[in-house]
């Protein structure tokens, strides 16, 4: 079993290292991750730049591949031929912070898994709840249960798993919930940093987001102490609105 491991927090992230150590007990793990933090980079690619690829040493002494590209660039580079062998599965994480609800459209962690899906590879994104003080040990352990299950059962074409874990020790985890995406409540504000006649500078930031805790959603499961697993696909079509939209009039009335 061969796994491509990537993330969006950068190659030196402790979340990636925890996952690497854990998955190496059950698989061959190739690491190819960005050389910097691309959190909230979404599904972006550096179309007009030349990508630099380097070999770097991790804290465990292993030599792995990194690039100045986005998480999706790293996955693309890896799957287009920079790996010695094609992986059976692409795993992205462990992200420092949750990726629930509409976070998935901002998330570089999830986007890396989406990129893998575009290459026809099964993929899993793993994120740990909280905004500081992460303990990756249970999430890394859980990945060792999840990964063989994914490989044995297989995922439908075009589907990835978005996994979020509570930042809790194993004995406080209440179980695993299969969920749908919830709705995030973002609390960012426009923060002027410097205002001038020619140019102004702003930060878009604020309190961490909350979520509507609707039963059945990823955010609610996570808040209740469950591991949340949401199957995602890249079809963003609003299927329920197609019929109504077909009845709209897109032609000018004859005069």
Q: Would you give the distance in Å from CA 39 to the centre of its chain?
A: 9
Residue 127 CB: number of other CB atoms within 10 A? Answer: 30
Q: How far is the CB of 184 from Mn ion (least distance, A)?
A: 15
Q: How far is the CB of 107 from Mn ion (least distance, A)?
A: 7
The reply on whether position 13 binds Mn ion by CB under 5 A is no
Q: How far is the CB of 175 from Mn ion (least distance, A)?
A: 26
Q: How far is the CB of 108 from Mn ion (least distance, A)?
A: 6
Using the minimum distance from each CB to Mn ion, give the nearer residue, 93 or 122. 93
For CA atoms 161, 164, 169, 172, the dihedral sign is negative
**Eight-class DSSP state of 254:** P
**Eight-class DSSP state of 147:** H
The reply on whether position 129 binds Mn ion by CB under 5 A is no
Q: How far is the CB of 252 from Mn ion (least distance, A)?
A: 48
Using the minimum distance from each CB to Mn ion, give the nearer residue, 71 or 166. 71
The only residue of 3, 4, 8, 217 in contact with Mn ion, by rule CB under 5 A: 8
Rounded distance, CA 225 to CA 124, Å? Answer: 20
Binding letters toward Mn ion, positions 40-79, x by CB under 5 A: ----------------------------------------
The reply on whether position 9 binds Mn ion by CB under 5 A is yes
* H runs (alpha helix) in 123-236: 137-153, 218-223
Element (H, E) at 125: strand 123-128
The reply on whether position 162 binds Mn ion by CB under 5 A is no
Q: How many residues does the chain have?
A: 255
Q: For 1-63, give the DSSP string.
A: -EEEEE-SS-TT-HHHHHHHHHHTTTSEEEEEEESS--TT--S---TTSPPPEEEEE-TTS-E
Using the minimum distance from each CB to Mn ion, give the nearer residue, 8 or 30. 8
Q: How far is the CB of 80 from Mn ion (least distance, A)?
A: 23
The reply on whether position 39 binds Mn ion by CB under 5 A is yes
Rounded distance, CA 237 to CA 234, Å? Answer: 9
Using the minimum distance from each CB to Mn ion, give the nearer residue, 12 or 224. 12
Using the minimum distance from each CB to Mn ion, give the nearer residue, 39 or 72. 39
Q: How far is the CB of 140 from Mn ion (least distance, A)?
A: 16
For CA atoms 159, 80, 75, 103, the dihedral sign is negative
The only residue of 95, 162, 217, 228 in contact with Mn ion, by rule CB under 5 A: 95
* Residues found near Mn ion in the complex (CB under 5 A): 8-9, 39, 95
């Amino acid at each position: 079993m061969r796994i491509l491991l990537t993330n969006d927090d950068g190659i030196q992230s402790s979340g990636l290292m925890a996952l690497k150590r854990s998955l190496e007990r059950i698989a061959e793990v190739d690491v190819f991750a960005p050389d910097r933090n691309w959190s909230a980079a979404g599904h972006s690619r550096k179309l007009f730049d030349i990508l630099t690829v380097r070999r770097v040493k991790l804290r465990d002494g292993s030599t792995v591949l990194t690039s100045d590209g986005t998480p999706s660039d790293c996955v693309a580079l890896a799957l287009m031929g920079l790996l010695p062998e094609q992986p059976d599965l692409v795993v992205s994480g462990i992200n420092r912070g949750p990726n629930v609800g509409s976070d998935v459209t901002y998330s570089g962690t999830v986007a890396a898994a989406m990129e893998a899906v575009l290459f026809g590879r099964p993929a899993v994104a793993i994120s740990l709840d909280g905004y500081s003080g992460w303990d990756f040990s249970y999430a890394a352990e859980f990945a060792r249960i999840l990964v063989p299950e994914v490989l044995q059962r297989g995922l439908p074409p075009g589907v990835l798993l978005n996994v979020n874990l509570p930042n809790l020790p194993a004995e406080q985890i209440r179980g695993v919930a299969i969920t749908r995406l919830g709705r995030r409540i973002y609390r960012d504000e426009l923060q002027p940093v410097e205002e001038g006649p020619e140019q102004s500078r702003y930060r878009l930031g604020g309190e961490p987001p909350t979520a509507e805790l609707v039963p059945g959603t990823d955010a609610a499961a996570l808040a209740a102490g469950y591991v949340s697993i949401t199957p995602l696909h890249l079809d963003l079509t609003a299927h329920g609105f197609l019929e109504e939209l077909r009845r709209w009039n897109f032609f000018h009335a004859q005069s």
